[in-house]
């Protein structure tokens, strides 16, 4: 069993089934050594977390960002033909939080995704990121995160 698979088990993390490709865009594209993963929303088998931060509290927002992170990892695993040990580095995450216009604790929300990357990958999980508050997200989900990952 691969090192990262064992780490996921230690952490009690089961990756979701990656959402299937839809229409004209795909869940990820490889370019050189980089995997570009499409924006993953805070969707889960039970429906996931929808709504706007400011109505939702920060802890719920962090949980939503963690769901995005789990969906990113599920897509990344597909991109690595099932072997997450091929990850070299989480390069960049772009985090978008669905907010009321007076909610500004945006970094705390996106930490829910960032922390997951470091829990799973350690130093290789530390990434550059942006975090902004947007007017709405697909289907009203609370958080969306996309990412660039370097693999071997």
What one-character-per-residue DSSP string does 62-123 give?
HHHHHHHHHHHHHHHHHHTTT-GGGEEEEEEEEEEEEB-TT---HHHHHHHHHHHHHHHHGG
- 5 vs 92, which CB is nearer to a copy of itself? 92
In the list 18, 39, 48, 61, the residue contacting a copy of itself (rule: CB under 8 A) is 39
Task: Show the site string, 61-100: x = touches a copy of itself by CB under 8 A, - = not.
Answer: ----------------------------xxxxxx-x--xx
Shortest distance, position 58 Cβ to a copy of itself, whole Å:
13
Dist. CA 145–CA 147, nearest whole Å: 7
Shortest distance, position 146 Cβ to a copy of itself, whole Å:
4
């Amino acid at each position: 069993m691969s090192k990262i698979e064992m780490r996921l088990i230690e952490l009690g993390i089961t990756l979701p089934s990656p959402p299937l490709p839809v229409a004209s865009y795909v869940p990820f594209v490889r370019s050189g050594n980089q995997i570009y993963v499409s924006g993953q929303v805070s969707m889960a088998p039970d429906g996931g977390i929808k709504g706007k931060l400011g109505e939702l509290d920060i802890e719920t927002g962090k949980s939503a960002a963690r769901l995005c992170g789990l969906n990113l990892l599920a897509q990344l695993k597909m991109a690595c033909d099932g072997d997450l040990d091929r990850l070299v580095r989480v390069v960049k995450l772009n985090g978008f939080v669905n907010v009321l216009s007076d909610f500004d604790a945006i970094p705390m929300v996106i930490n829910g995704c960032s922390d997951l990357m470091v829990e799973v990958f350690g130093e290789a999980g530390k990434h550059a990121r942006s975090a902004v508050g947007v007017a709405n997200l697909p289907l009203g989900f609370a958080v969306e995160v996309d990412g660039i990952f370097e693999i071997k």
